[in-house]
Structure 1
């Protein structure tokens, strides 16, 4: 060994020459599985191959006799191409279904669509407007036919989008709510509520869209900030029942953000436990509308703030009195003498607080749920003053024809007149005391984006309480439902606890009619099972259009005169329709009812989860689902809601056309789907990198397994400790997947699988075992043991990745087993019970921890120029007896584990010692690149070490 060349005698040129000589004797990985996925091109080819081989048919045959798992599909709306939220939800469902199938279940997944309702009506009306046509002049059945055709087109287009995502489903056996069979089942469910007494017609305030001219459900509402006019209004007391007549010449003052509801005022509510004061306005600020000397009733806690808001510069309190003393007091409407002659009583109500306002609440029973309840409880009328388009009716004095959203100025003008007139007459303060603006959150229709109102109209309701006890039964049913995440339980239960009676009627044309009759003489709804049966049979044969075409006598039967009955043409809420969809799978082979799982976005606690629960419990007494999984919403990379105006919308088609559907699927399962998710170019780029690592793992496995035969398999008991450790890690991962199948909690599973591939395999096991694979003889026991484990790894990873990377796992499976096979007909790989060895796993965690310490020292030596690579090193490892015992007593080849040419274990003196890294003695083998003194011993193969000589000789 010369000092000039260090441990290497051979010149670089000579070494390269010898390396080339033995290149073909090294067993390098070989595979046709490409490094680049080329997913946008390859995925459609895979879909075509699956269709050609009738993969779905093979799946159905393979499932015969298995236990059944049913995930019932919540129907997306058939209106436009799918968005990223659709992709998220459908992929999650597909992963759950595929995982259950590979875990041994029979899985039938029927995709569904919501096809009725306002958005489709609007699209057709929009087409009419562009063509200069008036919707009201189009025959109803023609209009419905055009809506049906529009929905059918989008069902077909969305189905193709979902297929492109790799979603496996019974596409030819889907359900849509506009199928005749579906419409018949929906009306049959309406009939169940009719016959069990749960359905009734009543006048109640409901959320109403003046733009769409229909009632809305809570799930159809979104909130936006708007600026509203606020007013303080004085109501003069005309009947004083308080002790000592404390309210003589006093006015009760209310505050409201909805001046347009003033015509509907019928009462003022107070809190019985709130303390009130009568204050006198001694001095008013410039511009204040409060008459000097006015005596005003407000809550004590709000008095100071009230004076500031209405411009009272100085005041003093005349009386203090408890809220309970206000019972029996009556005020006049500020517009008394102008057509508003009714009394305005003060009523006790627990909902009154001192959070804002005056502690006295303007009560308009036509336009507020609490207002309605307290007014009805006290026998107060509920007037109908606002038409369906938001204009005041003709019988509303002074405001007839005015739209409520343009009513602030005329209402305030009338209140100003009332105040001025009262001031001239010397009476108690009346009318407008102050006007201002407030920015606050206000409900809007999610379709039209326009603000809504509460409006009392006759509607059809399903009672939450009363004889059927729907609320109580529904809450009890939820006790037996599993929620993922568990925190979602409280969200749904609180909504059921608080919701009013379910308003199921809509005043539109495209939908399933509430097919009932009302007797004109009594106003009672007809509850006749025979009539209902005839209606259902007719709907099965001809669909819901028959309700508009047929003579009512066809349904009423003999003995009833159609002239005596009102035929109801309101359509049913689309949430009732989708909530009834659990009935669509009843009686079908291999379908569980109740379903094992419902899986939708978190907004469906207000929507489908709730409507399905109420429908199922109300008609069958049980929840239609055993478990509920909730996914979050998709935001952009900055956490903002996606919108076209921001230009941050990520369309699924753009992703699969540029990166592939598998990348989109991987993003979903690598995310915490229990929370809101983020997506954008950078995030997708990161997912592409994660995908590349997984693909490279599969590619390396395939290359290293070239020509693998069963004869190579080594029994588990004969495997080296490292191989047994890798199989133990596989058993741990299998436990993670098995728990996910059982609990429906997939968050963290695929990040763990990716971590295993990158950390346990690529950076550890593969790195260590490359030398054995590339350089040992094919018959060598260790090489056979490694290939035994690689065979297991390929089978396990392909099957475990298959629910998510549906195209890539198929490609990696067929690259080894041929195109006539499909990973989607395989079961999850299940490790043998003996593979799980907790003691072995713990020992190897200690070994790996110590290995990281040594590899850090090797990297330092490389940076310092002591060695060029780890194979040029020899290391001395000082270990205590305790450290060795933590390694499990296994006979370890530390040179192999550290990828060095030589390693020596010595007893550590005086405790733990630092590893020592030096240049290895000897020459570099031209075949395996280890530096060993024995290189050069063989005359014919002087450039090789003994191991390599034995292989090539």
Structure 2
């Protein structure tokens, strides 16, 4: 610059804003939280919906209650953030979007914590009055509700935090009991004795949703059941008919078979040796090939003897003998064994006749074909203890033989009954959940009596309690069930007469699933699930509020009391006192009043499965609350994929039994959170990511942005590297918003330009906004936050920052009061309102900061705004097609100039005045109709249809456009930095004509 040339920097309209580039989110976010609470944003939105003249359709996301026990983990943060984005986006799309957070407060984990406290003090739970114990459980849950509420609020989650729902509130306990009593009254409740998943450590039945699968090393044994008798063929349970059962030929054949098979062994294989004392039968497959095999030689250290005969499935014989350490030349196949021959055999238990057994196992074992036998592993024969397996239980239930095969050998704590010979008092598990002494005792006794063919160990997937992490067992025990295939006598048969029918119809006809795979998963579960086990043998929860006739059997008429008056008294007491009323002295007499003799009735003290509690929330939240729904049905249930067998599942069962249909219209599912390498998070591995730590380091908005950037329908990975990438995306977006704020500092309504009067470039931006508005709103309605954010982010950082802003900086800074500058600021104002509102459901803190930077005020908040309406006339497909040609040509020019810049021929694009050769006439016309040199940010530019010289620059994918580099001629304008021939020829020294006019 010449010495006499003025410094024109102060004459430029450069961006001015106090909006910092460094966000400082961890320190600043709490102030916005406090501000929202002070001005009551959530309540004001509810008031907004009630204002006269407004019509906002209610939208309710019903919160699946987290458990009130322990600090939040990253899965909680993922879950609640997705919910928050659903609620906020629907509110800003014109709904009255309500969100009532809730907590699951009953159940075993809290009981355990109180029992643990008792043990430390040397107290015994059984010595404490049950109401006192329950009060301590309630107090414990209340404490964690308060802690978790603040942790959720710190993540920017909006909702009715002042009045959440708790399953332990008195009204909730009343409604849970009332929902149970509907099952009592509609005929679906019954007491039955069948195998259920039982936790010996927790001493209670478990629901499928309370079970998780982990690898476990188990004993595995091959057990010998001797063929001790053989029929004559007159009874053929396999279904093969004898044409003449009394014929001499048949009798002779039967006698020959008797001589062949007597003394042979049927071998079973099991991974649960502790079930052998409860064995009542052995079953085989009717469609498999079986053979009789003889041992011809034995190695040392082998339990088999030469000459012994074994019945095995042909496909599995070699592998079975190998387990007994026999080589292939030490056994031989003697003969075929038909299904009819198997059906005629009678087997004895390996402990039959053992001294000291007191005849416990002396009866013949039932032996028949069964459909669940496979020839994929084992021996082709399956040992049956119907008290400890559902397949066996259902087989003998259907045969009407349960009374012959059910045992009660295993007690609540997983120990054998004290009087069981040899094994009384032995436990399947230790008190800490490890291997007990029962399996070893059974194996040792089988070895002693010669009942084993082989033994070993196997590592396999095995069910564990998700709370205690200890293995569970199948155990026959009296429980209360809801029958899902029994007709529900409530008259609500629009979607089916049974719970299963209603559930399946709801899934296929009434509910939309995101992702769609959730539909198939839940449908298959409902198709095959057994009756619902409702009862638990614990203390902290809502009791099964029913009475049974003393001395009556569950199958007897009048076994269950079904009296609306009694039910009403229970409901009234629960509303006033909570479920503790059931346990207070004189409760039975109080509820039965003068209608029944208390001496004739027993009060049930089992508590309801906590999944019944949470499954009932639709009744006391959606139906009963003022901020619920008119029909008791939620617009959305949203939880993790494990809730297909949890809350989605139990809510569907419960509502189909009482409401007649599913309690939701949409089911949205997210995946699990994993570490950066895709491993499951575990404290022992040290790979957990705590939401609190992320918030302290990055801020809650970065955590929320991590959620929005990911496909939540799959499993999510998170870690420091991923979060750093998320923070980088945030900075790029923040820079775009900072530029908009700085450029609008002096914008006034007087400068606003109508869209029709704007230059084409501004009209193109409006067209893109119209397209994006459809994308954003469709995405939000489809719960596709990744799609929404990617669309907005790419638009903001690529189409705006790298294209529109790059081009228009010159006009904004240098033009002065021109139509072009005013049109640009008008567009920036439009962009501001759309970008801040579109992104507000995701970046709740940052968009509030951006909004308040421009619109400060005591009551101002971005979260009180709706998405602006976008005029249909902004959409201009013809203009968009033209500007697609312009942008395509610009790519070639900017690429050509970048080559020159890298080679240091120029330092900036304003030093260039390239010649652009365009073969396509329509493209050439489009380029000539705009200021293409401004679009390319050059000081000059020539357009020609002449053929390009060989040395011209080309992009392979854009063959019809070529660029010949030329330097700009003239002097550099000291104000706008363009190199132009007229610089220095105007009144103001060292400037071009445009800047000279602006200075005037």
> Which TM-score band applies after superposition, normalised by the shorter structure?
over 0.9
- Please give the per-residue CA displacement for 1:813-849, whole angstroms capped at 9, x wherever unaligned: 1111122311111111232111122332233233222
Cα offset for 1:167?
Answer: 0.9
Measured in 1, the distance between the counterparts of 2:135 and 2:730 equals: 46
Alignment of 1:209-608 (within 5 A): 209-241=199-231, 244=254, 245=257, 247-313=261-327, 314-323=330-339, 325-337=341-353, 338=357, 339-378=360-399, 379=401, 380-404=404-428, 405-419=436-450, 431-468=451-488, 469-479=498-508, 480-523=510-553, 524-549=559-584, 550-584=586-620, 585-589=622-626, 591-592=628-629, 593-608=632-647
- Which residue pairs with 1:776 in the alignment? 815
- Please give the per-residue CA displacement for 1:755-781, whole angstroms capped at 9, x wherever unaligned: 111101111111110000000012x11
- Please give the per-residue CA displacement for 1:511-554, whole angstroms capped at 9, x wherever unaligned: 11111111013232212222222111111111000000043021
CA contact (8 A) 2:640 2:670 kept: yes
Where 2:974 maps in the other structure, the secondary structure is coil
- Please give the per-residue CA displacement for 1:613-671, whole angstroms capped at 9, x wherever unaligned: 00001111110001100011111111111121122221111122221111111110111
- Which residue pairs with 1:120 in the alignment? 110
Measured in 1, the distance between the counterparts of 2:714 and 2:737 equals: 31
Where 2:568 maps in the other structure, the secondary structure is helix
CA contact (8 A) 1:579 1:612 kept: yes
Cα offset for 1:328?
Answer: 4.5
Cα offset for 1:269?
Answer: 1.4
Measured in 2, the distance between the counterparts of 1:890 and 1:160 equals: 61
Whether 1:896 and 2:934 are equivalent positions in the alignment is yes
CA contact (8 A) 2:780 2:788 kept: no
- Which residue pairs with 1:427 in the alignment? none
Q: Structure 1's 166 and 93: CA in aligned 2 closer, same or farther, altered over 3 A?
A: same
Q: Structure 1's 358 and 890: CA in aligned 2 closer, same or farther, altered over 3 A?
A: farther
Pick aligned residue for 1:919 from 967, 980, 988: 967
Pick aligned residue for 2:691 from 652, 662, 684: 652
- Which residue pairs with 1:663 in the alignment? 702
Measured in 1, the distance between the counterparts of 2:862 and 2:737 equals: 14
CA contact (8 A) 1:75 1:112 kept: yes
Whether 1:21 and 2:7 are equivalent positions in the alignment is yes
- Which residue pairs with 1:932 in the alignment? 980
Whether 1:104 and 2:94 are equivalent positions in the alignment is yes
CA contact (8 A) 1:277 1:299 kept: yes
Say which is worse superposed, 714-723 or 151-160, in terms of deviation. Answer: 714-723
- Which residue pairs with 2:952 in the alignment? none
Cα offset for 1:57?
Answer: 2.5
Where 2:579 maps in the other structure, the secondary structure is coil
Say which is worse superposed, 674-683 or 131-140, in terms of deviation. Answer: 131-140
- Please give the per-residue CA displacement for 1:94-144, whole angstroms capped at 9, x wherever unaligned: 111111111111122111000000111111111112222222222211111
Alignment of 1:692-711 (within 5 A): 692-711=731-750
Where 2:916 maps in the other structure, the secondary structure is strand
- Which residue pairs with 1:830 in the alignment? 869
Cα offset for 1:888?
Answer: 5.2
Measured in 2, the distance between the counterparts of 1:395 and 1:839 equals: 90
Give the gaps of 5 or more residues in structure 1.
1-9, 420-430
CA contact (8 A) 1:107 1:590 kept: no
Q: Structure 1's 915 and 375: CA in aligned 2 closer, same or farther, altered over 3 A?
A: same
Whether 1:638 and 2:667 are equivalent positions in the alignment is no
- Please give the per-residue CA displacement for 1:332-369, whole angstroms capped at 9, x wherever unaligned: 11111133112211122111111100010011111111
Alignment of 1:783-932 (within 5 A): 783-819=821-857, 820-882=859-921, 884=923, 891-909=929-947, 912=960, 914-932=962-980
CA contact (8 A) 1:328 1:345 kept: no
How many residues align? The count is 925
Measured in 1, the distance between the counterparts of 2:739 and 2:808 equals: 12
CA contact (8 A) 2:892 2:961 kept: no
Where 2:286 maps in the other structure, the secondary structure is coil
Cα offset for 1:747?
Answer: 3.0
Pick aligned residue for 1:50 from 12, 16, 36: 36
Where 1:915 maps in the other structure, the secondary structure is strand
Measured in 2, the distance between the counterparts of 1:309 and 1:881 equals: 80
Cα offset for 1:375?
Answer: 2.4
- Please give the per-residue CA displacement for 1:865-896, whole angstroms capped at 9, x wherever unaligned: 221110111111000234616x7577111111
Measured in 2, the distance between the counterparts of 1:190 and 1:912 equals: 75
Measured in 2, the distance between the counterparts of 1:223 and 1:590 equals: 39
Measured in 1, the distance between the counterparts of 2:784 and 2:983 equals: 56
- Please give the per-residue CA displacement for 1:150-174, whole angstroms capped at 9, x wherever unaligned: 0001111111111111111111221
CA contact (8 A) 1:484 1:745 kept: no
Cα offset for 1:325?
Answer: 4.5
Cα offset for 1:685?
Answer: 1.1
Cα offset for 1:587?
Answer: 4.1
Cα offset for 1:688?
Answer: 1.1
Say which is worse superposed, 330-339 or 240-249, in terms of deviation. Answer: 240-249
Where 2:582 maps in the other structure, the secondary structure is helix
- Please give the per-residue CA displacement for 1:883-934, whole angstroms capped at 9, x wherever unaligned: 616x757711111111110011001427835201121101111100000111
- Please give the per-residue CA displacement for 1:24-81, whole angstroms capped at 9, x wherever unaligned: 1000000121211111121111111122222223211111241111111100000011
Say which is worse superposed, 62-71 or 835-844, in terms of deviation. Answer: 835-844
Cα offset for 1:409?
Answer: 2.1
Cα offset for 1:176?
Answer: 0.2
Measured in 1, the distance between the counterparts of 2:196 and 2:340 equals: 31
- Please give the per-residue CA displacement for 1:244-263, whole angstroms capped at 9, x wherever unaligned: 42532221110000101000
- Please give the per-residue CA displacement for 1:540-598, whole angstroms capped at 9, x wherever unaligned: 11100000004302112323111111111111100010000000120434533211100
Measured in 2, the distance between the counterparts of 1:324 and 1:48 equals: 80
Where 2:336 maps in the other structure, the secondary structure is strand
Where 1:787 maps in the other structure, the secondary structure is helix
Say which is worse superposed, 903-912 or 476-485, in terms of deviation. Answer: 903-912
Query: Normalised by the size of structure 2, how large is the TM-score?
Result: 0.91
Measured in 1, the distance between the counterparts of 2:158 and 2:506 equals: 31
CA contact (8 A) 2:537 2:607 kept: yes
Measured in 2, the distance between the counterparts of 1:197 and 1:623 equals: 20
CA contact (8 A) 2:385 2:405 kept: no
Measured in 1, the distance between the counterparts of 2:277 and 2:967 equals: 96
CA contact (8 A) 1:267 1:375 kept: no
